[in-house]
Amino acid sequence: MAHALLRTSAVVTAAALCAGLASASASAAAGPHRGALVSAEHLRTLSSGQVAGQLAAAGYEHASVRNGVDTYRLVYRTVDAHGRPTTASGLFVLPRTGRHRLRTVSYDHGTTSYKGDAPSTTGDGFAPAPALTYGAAGFAAAEPDYLGLGLGPGVHPWMNVPSEVTASVDMLRASRAFARRHGRELDRKVLVTGFSQGASAATALGRALQNGSDPWFRLGALAPISGGYAFRTAEIPALLNGGVEPKSGTLYAAYLLVAFNRLHHLYDSPAQVFKSPYDETIEQLFDGTHTGEELFNSTPGTIGDLLTPYGLKLLTDPPERFAAALKVLDGTCQWTPKAPTRLYFSRNDEQAVNANSTTCRTQLGTQVPLIDLGTGNYQGSRHLGSNVAGTAAIVRWFLTLK
């Protein structure tokens, strides 16, 4: 589910990315400790007025701004989708307050395919705006880039829930270690949120924290926004029947098949799944080095123009290996939260159809409020607009929690 996939990418120089990737990859072999810091780079110091200006320019509310912030790019040790040591990066925001002990927000971002669009590497205001919102409200905010994005080596395993969880947990560990170096302590109760792709990542992270995946951190509250929680039963049917905006649906179908093939071997050749001429280019377009604009301009407008009959059959009747992978993806809401939980969605979302959120609410339990954010939009997208409205609503809610 997208935030930057369909938009022009922010510019990050290839030289800077390659240098960071080489450094991070070389350091990965130096030690096995998940969450250990590899490097920390100070990005910006912003006054409260500057944060408010940044948020306003990005289209976000700034009523909750109370203080300035310092932002950092952390590179840390984690594991890849196969459990092998690797590194990942993320954005960490510390509030400029005198408080020693800080309440902590973990925010998981929506879909992007370009390394330079990740929260810690983009100059675009949309991706880092939630972390800035929480930091300027007085929280410490951790926003992982996930595997293969930002300064992470390799390609991004899109919608791979287990690696989203390990990257998020390890980002929290790295953030705690970094905060201690600056004389701050992160509260063990984590306020977990996320948008779109990051919403299902957040529900899975909440479950992991509740189940003791880390010896220090625990789930303090959960508030995901507009997630793709039910791909097999809700999202994929909507991609195929027009319930999802056609161009968005085409890109999601392509990303799903390319990313899942890399992990689960769904096809032997792109030509089995993708029509000519896209079979020659589609996998390269999702290698992390192509901007959202390139991806948009190099793909057709409908799924029917992209996929072969076999490609369509993979989606309508997934073989056993694909079905098993989708079951993991669709299982992030199958638990009962013990911490305060709210689900947020946007009515008639053109990308994450509402059946995703109603399914998740049924699975989590009727005690969980399902909050309609209305029909506001961001750059013409109701889906993106839900992240803007949801972030404003959630920071207000988090500020009321003890």
Q: Which CATH number fits domain 245-328: 3.40.47.10, 1.10.357.10, 3.40.50.2000, 1.10.260.160?
A: 1.10.260.160
pLDDT at 3 exceeding the cut of 50: no
Where along the chain do the CATH 1.10.260.160 domains lie? 245-328
SS3 content of the chain, % helix, strand, coil (to 5): 40, 20, 40
Task: Specify the CATH number for 14-230+331-400; select among 3.40.50.450, 2.60.40.420, 3.40.50.2300, 3.40.50.1820.
Answer: 3.40.50.1820
Instruction: Write down the pLDDT at residue 2.
Output: 52
Q: Which pairing describes strands 218-225 and 185-195: parallel, antiparallel, or unpaired?
A: parallel
Helix (H) or strand (E) holding 357: helix 355-364
> What average pLDDT score do residues 222-242 get?
97
- pLDDT value at position 391? 98
Reported as a pLDDT band with limits 50, 70 and 90, residue 16 is very low
| Pairwise CA distance, residues 302 & 263, whole Å | 25
**Predicted TM-score (pTM) of this structure:** 0.93
pLDDT of amino acid 1: 56
Sign of the torsion formed by the C-alpha atoms of 103, 104, 110 and 115: positive
Distance CA 162, CA 204 (A): 8
Mean pLDDT, range 253-278, rounded to an integer: 98
Location of each CATH 3.40.50.1820 domain in the chain = 14-230+331-400
- How far apart CA 206 and CA 253 sit, in angstroms, is 27
Whether the pLDDT of residue 11 is over 90: the answer is no
How far is 336 from 164, CA to CA, in rounded Å?
20
Contact 168, 201 (CB under 8 A): yes
What mean pLDDT is predicted for residues 198-206? 98
Confidence of residue 32 (pLDDT cuts 50, 70, 90): low
| Residues above pLDDT 90, as percent of the chain | 91
Tally the C-alpha atoms within 13 A of residue 18's C-alpha that lie toward its C-beta: 4
In terms of Cβ atoms closer than 10 Å to its own Cβ (0-12, 13-18, 19+), residue 391 is buried
Q: Does residue 83 have a pLDDT over 90? A: yes
Average pLDDT, the chain: 93
**What are 108-158's pLDDT values in tens digits?**
999 999 999 999 999 878 999 999 999 999 999 999 999 999 999 999 999
Give the model's pLDDT for residue 402: 85
* Model pLDDT for residues 301-334, shown as the tens digit of each residue: 999 999 999 999 999 999 999 999 999 999 999 9
Residue 44: strand pairing partners: 71
For residues 401 and 340, the answer to whether their CB atoms sit within 8 Å is: yes
pLDDT at 254 over 90: yes
Judged against a pLDDT cut of 80, whether residue 221 lies above it is answered with: yes
The Cβ of residue 301 has, within 10 Å, a number of other Cβ atoms equal to 11
CA dist., res. 81 & res. 89, Å (int) = 15
In whole angstroms, give the CA distance from residue 254 to residue 311.
10
First to last CA, the chain: 31
The answer to whether the CB of 376 falls within 8 A of the CB of 349 is no
Quick one: pLDDT at residue 30?
Answer: 35
HSE (CB half, 13 Å, CA atoms) of 51? 31
Q: What is the SS3 assignment for 25?
A: helix
Contact criterion met (CB below 8 Å) for 394 and 344: yes
Angstrom distance (rounded) from CA 186 to CA 169: 14
Residue 300's pLDDT is: 98
Residue 380 CB contacts under 8 Å (≥ 6 apart), including other chains: none
Rounded CA-CA distance 178/42 in Å is 11
